[in-house]
Amino acid sequence: MSEIPALEIASLNKRFGGLAATRNVSVRVMPGERRLLIGPNGAGKTTLFNQIAGDFLPDSGSIKLFGQDMTRLDTRHRVRMGLGRTYQILTLFPHDTLRHNVALALLGTEGGGWSFWSALKGRHDLMARADEALGQVGLAEVAGRPVSQTSYGERRRLELAMALAQKPKVLLLDEPLAGLSADERETVRLLLEQIPRDVTIVMIEHDMDVALAFADRITLLNFGEVVLEGTRAEVIADPRTREVYLGH
Amino acid sequence: MQFWIIQTLNSLAMGGLLFLLSAGFSLIFGLMRIPNLAHGGLFMLGAYVGATLLGQSLPFWLAAIVAGALVGALGVILEGTLLRRMAGNEQGQVLITLGISFIIADLCLLSWGGDPVPLAAPRGLRPPVFLAGFAFPGYRLAVLGFALAAALGLWMLLERTRLGAMIRAGVDDREMARSVGIRVSRLFSAVFFLGAFLAGLGGVIGGPILSAYPGLDADMLPLALVVVILGGVGSLPGALVGSFLVGIIYNFGTALFPDFAYVILFLPMVVMLVVKPTGLFGRAMR
Amino acid sequence: MTRFASMRGWALTLIALAMLPFILPSDYYLGIATHALVIAVLALSLDILIGQGGMSSLGHAAYLGVSAYAVAWTTRNAGWPAYAAIPFALALGTLTACVFGVLALRARGLGFLMITLALGQVMWGAAYRWVDLTGGDNGIRMQARPVLLGFDLNNATNFYIIVCAVLLTTLIAIYKLDHSALGACLRGTRDQPRRMRMLGHDVWKIRFVGFVSAGFWGAVAGVLYAYDYLYVGPSALSLPQSAEALLMVVLGGAGTLAGPVAGAIVITVIKTVVSSYVDRWYTLLGLTFIIVVSVMPKGLVPGIRSWMKGNRA
């Protein structure tokens, strides 16, 4: 294991008042890996994502991206280092077009958001790349439509397009399939499969059919702690998995 | 030496007045998320009403209580009629309190004229008190004592009574308070009464020191804001400590650098915003 | 439809404004129109903060005041020509906005509002009490407006035209900002600050740049203000001045170009008419606040627009 992990979390702790949200969590995700985070509601999965993204700082422990420490960096610096994320609860800009949403994502990684005179719509290079990103998730035809006039499934795919447009090295996916119909789930599953292996993915997902097939390794969290980690077969076979989910 | 001692006492008396003003402001803000910009106006109205009551030869402390109660009643009416309908629209509520403050200021000018109206201190407190060879203005000592007593009373109210427990619960988490069955609307009325009462009372008690004049409201409101920024929103200890800090800085600032009193006041606020934007005792101001 | 209709609306408005000097019976009325358009620049600048950045400020008159004082002081006490006084005033006003921004942007929402109010009052206190510099309550008077490029601004019509030109420039600049990348980012930080961070944006810096550009246009309004009234006193940067600007934005409709201008015109007309009959402007201002917020929270321009849409449908 001489290779540097894409994402390395070491002994991470976070308390909110009396509640330990993250307890001594250590996770190593290797480059190109597909890692699934599972655990019951309140197990601390999204809290862990929030700390990786830098929404709030851990009390102790460290987070490294390709060996570079980013435990105390601002979110935007983490993004520049190659971190991307989609949200479980959709946080898009509803009155703007899909193209505009992706353009904001591109401006975020490239800088260049400081122009106060030339029209954003007139930035043809940017718009072309936004359209390209939308094309990758099959939304080319509705690129000019406001988000508020698209379906829920289309918005989920837009989330993905915005993250992918930033060409992240490590992508955090927070329940990318939540609330989708069977057809839409299949569409998104295919999209996820198509993401090249130079992107490392950490995913939270409750849809086990899709998620288990997708993941190389699985980490099970409960009460803010890592209960176990292993391959798909190992985790399914382990009695502790049943215990966590069935509450025995 | 005499200068420093007198100025220190003046500062503490001013701090006491500021506490009466800002304790209510801070509680209302903490509980209801309304920065009541009419609070300076309520203070001024208290001073004017107190002056009129004293003119009817009411005893000083009775005048103070009656003026405070009248101002408190006005506060409850304003909260119930104008502010409650706007629940959830924070910017709208701020603008309404601002509108109220303009109306109060203008009607005070109409009723009491443009010249300062002096309020006489209670007769027994007018002569200076001699302690260790220094002369202390008796009334300012009394103001300081009264403010400390009020702080203690408020603290008891918040910590020892059912109403206080409900207020504290509401400041901590309004939704939680609602879900455990606290009648939030009644609580709001109670807190608005308390805050407006203290402001009106403070206006009368401050009268012999500041007198009542047009612009008193605009002078006092920023002081209350600075107190709350220093001490933290919704915190009684924060309001007390912040008041004395502002009282000291403002008073010495006025005495030593009369041109810059307001600017000097601004320095501790700057420091606090840079070092700890939530204030000494507060949580995030959102 | 909307694009063409709104272009036509603007063109008609501009023609009407340009015709005013020939229609109005006297310089008195032209003076009122000038006052309204000067303060419209301030309202527009404040709407950069409110409409695009989602930050309501109650200290916005400070930039107008600082810049107006700078023009008056350098002209009156240092004998500077307008060519020097104006850039200096713009720089000083913008610098004030930088300082305010660094402090006020530590908080959001109501905290932001309170800090801007407190900072604005500090400036007011300084103007009122620092008599050696500002003349205190008496303020600073100037003798005459300058002659710029052979254009004598002491002529009411000439000055009115200059004010119209500046207002038009402000409108174009804000329209451009609205449609630019920065404008998009500013609205992004208003609606989804956390998401903007996760997209790699420097949210603080975006807000700061928005805040300072609003301050710059406020300072522009200050230069016009100083030459319009030829007098600057503490009321120029008082809380009622900031509050009036905020009311203009809310009354006209935040986040629209026409709203703040309409609000400025309506408030100025009310103020002038009322002041000529009774002395109770502040009561009326307060009542207007309460009525506007209770009855028309979205403002005149969006209200009229949706009413027109409803009629057409």
A90 pLDDT higher than 90: no
**Who wins on pLDDT, B284 or B31?**
B31
pLDDT at C1: 40
pLDDT bin (cut points 50, 70, 90) of residue B4 is confident
Q: What's the mean per-residue pLDDT of chain B?
A: 86
> What's residue B285's pLDDT?
42
User: pLDDT per position in chain C (313 positions), as tens?
Assistant: 455 667 777 888 888 888 888 888 888 889 999 999 999 999 999 999 999 888 989 999 999 999 999 999 999 999 899 899 999 999 999 999 999 999 899 888 888 888 898 889 889 888 988 888 888 888 999 988 888 888 888 888 899 999 999 999 999 999 999 999 999 999 999 998 989 999 999 999 999 999 999 999 999 999 999 999 999 999 999 888 999 999 999 999 888 888 999 999 999 998 888 888 877 888 888 988 888 888 887 888 887 777 777 766 5
Q: Which residues of B touch C281 (CB under 8 A)?
A: 106
The fraction of chain A above a pLDDT of 90, given in percent, is 49
- Residues C177, A116: C-beta atoms closer than 8 Å: yes
Res A82 pLDDT > 70: yes
pLDDT at B286 over 70: no
Q: What is the pLDDT of residue C185?
A: 93
User: What is the per-residue pLDDT across B198-232, written as a single tens digit (0 to 9) for each?
Assistant: 999 999 999 999 999 998 998 899 889 889 888 88
Residue C218 CA, chain-centre distance (Å), reads 5
Which residues on C lie below 8 Å from B95 (Cβ)?
A: 246-247, 250, 289, 292-293
Q: Tell me if C258 sits within 8 A of C171, measured CB to CB.
A: no
Strand partners, C141: C231
**Is C105 within the bounds of a domain?**
yes
Nearest to A108 among C182, C187, C199 (CB): C199
According to the model, what pLDDT value does residue C99 have? 94
ipTM of the complex: 0.88
Please judge whether C184 and A75 are an interchain contact, meaning their C-beta atoms are less than 8 angstroms apart. Answer: no
Q: Is the pLDDT of residue B143 over 80?
A: yes
Domain boundaries, chain A: 94-167
- Interface probe for C, chosen from B44, B98, B100, B274 (most Cβ of C below 10 Å), is B98
Identify the band that residue B180 occupies on the pLDDT scale cut at 50, 70 and 90: low
User: Residue C5 falls within a domain, yes or no?
Assistant: no
Q: How many domains, in total, are found in chain C?
A: 1
Going by the DSSP 8-state scheme, the letter that residue A43 receives in this structure is S
- Residue pair B243/B22 in contact by the 8 Å Cβ criterion: yes
Model confidence pLDDT, tens digit, residues B234-249: 788 889 999 999 999 8
Q: Would you tell me how many other CB atoms lie within 10 Å of the CB of residue A122?
A: 10
Q: If you measure CA to CA, which chain C residue comes closest to A89? A: C195
Collapsing DSSP to helix, strand or coil, A19 comes out as: strand
d(CA B210, CA B199): 14
Is residue C8 one of the residues assigned to a domain? no
Residue C66 and residue C92 in contact, taking contact as beta carbons nearer than 8 Å: yes
Calculate how close chain A gets to C223, using CA atoms only, in Å: 23
Read off the pLDDT of each residue in A218-246 and give the average, rounded to a whole number: 87
- Percent above pLDDT 90 for chain B: 40
Give the integer Cα–Cα distance in Å for C137 and C77. Answer: 17
Residue whose structure tokens are 């070491």:
A10
Task: Please tell me which of the candidates C56, C117, C294 has its beta carbon nearest to residue B91.
Answer: C56
Q: Domain coordinates of chain B in residue numbers?
A: 19-214
> Do the Cβ atoms of A76 and C181 come within 8 Å?
no
Chains C and A touch (3+ CB pairs under 8 A): yes
Say yes or no for a CB contact (<8 Å) between C206 and A112. no
Please answer whether residues B195 and B68 qualify as being in contact, where contact means their C-beta atoms are separated by less than 8 angstroms.
Answer: no
CA distance B46 to chain C (A): 19
Pairing of strands A68-69, A60-65: antiparallel
Token output for C66: 């600082």
Which of B95, B107, B259 is opposite residue C293, by nearest beta carbon? B95
What number is the average pLDDT over the span B264-283? 76
Residue with tokens 């490029």: C149
Domain enclosing residue C154, as ranges: 29-238
User: What pLDDT does C151 receive?
Assistant: 84
Q: How confident is the model at residue B183 (pLDDT cuts 50, 70, 90)?
A: confident
DSSP letter (8 states) at residue A224: T
What is the structure's pLDDT at A247?
Answer: 62
Most confident of the ranges A103-107, A243-247, B33-37? A103-107
Q: What is the pLDDT of residue B120?
A: 87
pLDDT in tens, A23-38: 999 999 999 999 999 9
Residues 6+ away with beta carbon under 8 Å from C286: B98, B99, B100, B101, B102, B103, B106
Q: Which residue has the tokens 């204030």?
A: B279
Longest dimension (CA), chain B: 60
Segment B135-162 mean pLDDT: 88
Q: Which chains touch A (3 or more CB pairs under 8 A)?
A: C
Q: At what angle do helices A124-136 and A98-110 cross, to 10 degrees?
A: 110
Which residue is listed with tokens 């989804």?
C192
Compute the nearest-CA separation of B190 from chain C (Å). Answer: 22
When CB atoms are compared, the residue of B90, B105, B270 closest to C282 is B105
Question: Nearest Cα to B76, choosing from B168, B224, B199, B170?
Answer: B199
What residues of chain C lie within 8 A of the CB of A53, using their CB? 198
A2-6, A57-61, A201-205: least confidently modelled range: A2-6
Triad A222, A227, A231: Cα angle to 5°: 120
Q: What is the pTM of this model?
A: 0.88
Round to whole Å and give the CA distance between C261 and C301.
Answer: 10
Instruction: Give the max Cα distance, chain A.
Output: 63
pLDDT tens by residue, B74-97: 999 999 888 888 877 888 888 899
First to last CA, chain C: 13
Taking the Cβ of residue C270 and every Cβ of chain B, the question of whether any pair is shorter than 8 Å is answered with no
CB-CB: which of B218, B221, B285 is closest to C107? B285
